[in-house]
């Protein structure tokens, strides 16, 4: 065991995958010699060579396209999209290519690739370095969409993603790279050092896909969330004194519905929290699923706490970000309903 930041945990996962399987290749913009703008691939090119870890042209459509060709050949490409906000030129390749190659060829060709991309705000990145586009991927059949909330899960989920025969969109909440973040931007930074979820084995392990975690057990209401908002939701529980059961979905789609349904049936109340914009966000799907599976157990309307339906603003970042006050207010409304 070692204490790792999320960056170190991701790097460790890539290191383990590169070391165990000669078919794993890692590439993206600034990923090779430099080690990535967030340092997630630092040292890997020196260790594994330039044909296993390399830089690419600035062309996301090209990065995803060559990843598909490599994966069909038999490699296990792990491509980095420098920011999730940059993925859109590659979207056709993801939707029309990666997600459907197994289906359209009836299994003759497959697309076992992993696309890593930092997502989310909280770093003053403005509208081009802050987005959370997970719903654009959960809507696409054939993809797996994953978002870890801590170093232990990040490493275990990333190794599971690389070993998975399906294409995986691996979203990394960049505000969590260097420490947990409860949404109080005006307080001192907290590091991962000494945090139990930063205790990461140095070798190989996986966190299974399609499995959620009960991040904080509770009796009053169920919170369905993932990524940075797991920490915000937990902070809101402490601050309101409401005993929220916080479920960290980890795998957004396909998802662990049983854990969700079991919890909501027990608490009878549900709040969905995500950083992404509200309308047609993944929270809409979660609310629909809870309604379909738990309607007769609900004692209050399902609440959604999300980013506003605007581009992510720069100077107004903290008015946009759904912090613990907004989440806590939703808890109170749900309890009072």
Partner 1 sequence: MPAYPPLSLHIPEPPGRPGVPTDFSYLKVSPAGAVRRPPIDARPDDTMDIAESLVRVLDDDGEARGPWAPAADPALLRRGLRTMLLTRAFDARMLIAQRQKKLSFYMQSLGEEAIAIGQALALAPDDMCFPTYRQQGILIARGYPLVDMMCQLFSNPRDPVKGRQLPVMYTSRAHGFFTIAGNLGTQYIQAVGWAMASAIKGDTRIVSAWIGDGSTAAADFHNALTFACVYHAPVILNVVNNQWAISSFQTLAGGEAATFAARGVGNGIASLRVDGNDFLAVLAASAWAQERAHRGCGATLIEWITYRAGAHSTSDDPSKYRPADDWARFPLGDPVARLAQHLTRIGAWSDAEHASTQAEVEAEVMAAQKEAESYGTLASGHVHDASMMFDDVYRDMPAHLRRQRAQAQGA
Q: Write out the catalytic residue numbers.
A: 129
For residue 186, say if its preceding peptide bond is cis, omega within 30 degrees of 0: no
Residues 168 and 165: their CA atoms lie apart, in Å, by 9
Residues 174 and 283: their CA atoms lie apart, in Å, by 20
CB of 304 to partner 1, least distance (A): 21
Q: Say whether 157 sits in a helix, a strand or coil.
A: helix
Q: By C-beta, is 90 or 156 nearer to partner 1?
A: 90
Q: By C-beta, is 62 or 311 nearer to partner 1?
A: 62
Residue 174, token pair as written in the block: 């960049």
The total of other beta-carbon atoms located within 10 Å of residue 34's CB is 13
Q: Say whether 15 sits in a helix, a strand or coil.
A: helix
CB of 41 to partner 1, least distance (A): 17
Residues 279 and 283: their CA atoms lie apart, in Å, by 9
Query: CA nearest 144: which of 218, 103, 104, 94?
Result: 94
Q: By C-beta, is 73 or 124 nearer to partner 1?
A: 73
Q: By C-beta, is 17 or 71 nearer to partner 1?
A: 71
CB of 185 to partner 1, least distance (A): 37
Residues 145 and 238: their CA atoms lie apart, in Å, by 29
Q: By C-beta, is 68 or 271 nearer to partner 1?
A: 68
Footprint of partner 1 (CB under 8 A): 25, 51-52, 56-57, 59, 61-62, 65-75, 77, 89, 92-93, 96-97, 101-110, 141-142, 144, 164-166, 210, 254, 257
CB of 153 to partner 1, least distance (A): 20
CB of 73 to partner 1, least distance (A): 4
Q: By C-beta, is 142 or 268 nearer to partner 1?
A: 142
Sort strands 270-277 and 251-253 into parallel, antiparallel or unpaired.
Answer: unpaired
Q: Say whether 3 sits in a helix, a strand or coil.
A: strand
CB of 262 to partner 1, least distance (A): 14
> In Å, what is the CA distance from 290 to each residue of 122, 210, 217, 287, 293?
29, 17, 18, 5, 5
Q: Say whether 306 sits in a helix, a strand or coil.
A: strand
Q: Say whether 207 sits in a helix, a strand or coil.
A: coil
Q: By C-beta, is 208 or 241 nearer to partner 1?
A: 208
CB of 71 to partner 1, least distance (A): 8
Sort strands 213-216 and 244-248 into parallel, antiparallel or unpaired.
Answer: antiparallel
Phi-psi bin for 241: left (phi > 0), alpha (psi -120 to 50), beta?
A: left
Sort strands 221-225 and 53-55 into parallel, antiparallel or unpaired.
Answer: unpaired
């Amino acid at each position: 065991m070692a204490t790792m930041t999320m960056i170190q945990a991701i790097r460790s996962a890539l290191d383990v995958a590169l070391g165990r399987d000669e078919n794993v290749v890692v590439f993206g913009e600034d990923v090779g010699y430099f080690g990535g703008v967030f340092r997630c691939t630092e040292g890997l090119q020196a260790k594994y060579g330039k044909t296993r870890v390399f830089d690419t042209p600035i062309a996301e459509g090209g990065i995803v396209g060559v990843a598909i060709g490599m994966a069909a050949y038999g490699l296990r490409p792990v491509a980095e999209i420098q920011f999730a906000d940059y993925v859109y030129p590659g979207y056709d390749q993801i939707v029309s290519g990666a997600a459907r190659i197994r289906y359209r060829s009836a299994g003759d060709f497959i697309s076992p690739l992993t696309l890593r991309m930092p997502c989310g705000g909280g770093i003053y990145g403005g509208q081009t370095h802050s987005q959370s586009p997970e719903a654009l991927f959960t809507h696409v059949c054939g993809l797996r969409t994953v978002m870890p909330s801590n170093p232990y899960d990040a490493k275990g989920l990333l190794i599971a993603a690389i070993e998975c025969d399906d294409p995986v969109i691996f979203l990394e909440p960049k505000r969590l790279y260097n420490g947990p973040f409860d949404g109080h931007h005006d307080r001192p930074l907290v590091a991962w050092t000494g945090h139990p979820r930063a205790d990461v084995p140095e070798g190989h392990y996986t966190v299974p896909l399609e499995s959620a975690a009960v991040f904080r057990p509770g009796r009053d209401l169920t919170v369905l969330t993932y990524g940075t908002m797991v920490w915000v939701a937990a902070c809101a529980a402490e601050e309101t004194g409401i005993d929220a059961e916080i479920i960290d979905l980890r795998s957004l789609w396909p998802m662990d519905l049983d854990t969700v349904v079991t919890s909501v049936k027990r608490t009878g109340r549900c709040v969905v929290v995500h950083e992404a914009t509200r309308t047609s966000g993944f929270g809409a799907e979660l609310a629909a699923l809870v309604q379909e599976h738990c309607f007769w157990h609900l004692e209050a309307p399902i609440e959604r706490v999300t980013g506003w339906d605007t581009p992510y603003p720069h100077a107004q970042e903290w008015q946009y970000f759904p912090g613990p006050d907004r989440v806590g207010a939703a808890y109170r409304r749900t309890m009072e309903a």
